[in-house]
Amino acid sequence: MLGRADGPGAAMRPSGAAKSAAVLAETARRAAAQAGLDLPVERAVVGAAGAGRSQEQAELEAALVEAGVARHVRVLADGEVALAAAFGTGPGILVNAGTGSIAYARDPSGELHRAGGYGWQLGDEGGGYWLGRRALDVAARSRDGRGEGSTLLARLLGALGLQHFDDLVRWTATATPTQMAALAPHVLNAAREGEGVARQAVDDAAHELVELAAVLVPHFPGTGPVPVAIAGGLLLPQSPLTAAFRARLGAALKRARLIPDRIDSAVGALKLAAESGG
């Protein structure tokens, strides 16, 4: 039995099953070697970003079986695995903010629901790409003298090893969504240090993430509390985005009860692998 919850290069693109499987298979081999296991194992559960639809799941499952990871593979979206880590088979809402953003819910009857997670072209509001794009917008406005001054231009140039604003313009022409999302921590750092435009960007991101939870609350009948958990690289315990999300959630959704524990998606994958093994 192998529980696997996303990882480097695990993001799933349409028709990209073979490439994703190759990355995951190599990761599984290293993990198995450290644990003293032989591949293929009997069962594996994989949580992969971008694998929220049946076609992508089936393609990646077949590719991982062919790669010799496991005899039986179950592929789920990474947020669904985190949902299992947070609540097991019980009800609750999970908001995940990493490169993108998505929310999953399991209602009291056991039915799954989702909001967001449609990719950077269609949304992913409040996620890493969204915040990275916001950082570039602030940098450009600062360069022109529009809006409030900001240190973000200097932060981005330093982080990317660039000298001038024109270098940043050229960088954006070929930057991937993952590279754009890697700019998000600079917004969080500037917000942590009290910079106004960065704090506003973080607050706006928190608003978007709370909206994802808000559209799922109606799936929980009655007036009782609705448990909400958070996961993803942007919602770490000391992140200003986590603090802003907590504040907005309490103000906007009176029924919401934020779970304080950090969610370990790998634990959710192991739970699901154990359950699927009967």
Answer yes or no: pTM beyond 0.75: yes
Q: How many residues does the chain have?
A: 278
Q: How many Å apart are CA 140 and CA 137, to the nearest integer? A: 5
Q: How many Å apart are CA 74 and CA 19, to the nearest integer? A: 17
pLDDT, mean over the chain:
84
**Per-residue pLDDT tens over the stretch 133-160:** 999 999 888 888 887 778 888 999 999 9
Per-residue pLDDT at 7: 41
Beta-carbon count within 10 A of 67 CB: 19
Is residue 199 exposed (0-12), middle (13-18) or buried (19+ Cβ within 10 Å)? Answer: middle
* Contact (Cβ atoms closer than 8 angstroms) between residue 92 and residue 227: yes
Per-residue pLDDT at 4: 47
Per-residue pLDDT at 69: 83
Per-residue pLDDT at 15: 54
Per-residue pLDDT at 277: 58
**Per-residue pLDDT tens over the stretch 33-68:** 888 888 888 888 887 766 667 777 888 888 888 888
Q: How many Å apart are CA 28 and CA 39, to the nearest integer? A: 8
The DSSP secondary structure of 86-126, one letter per residue, reads HHTTS-EEEEEESSSEEEEEE-TTS-EEEEE---TTT--TT
Per-residue pLDDT at 5: 47
Q: Where are the domains of the chain?
A: 2-82+266-276
Low-confidence spans in the chain with pLDDT less than 50: 1-10, 12, 14, 278
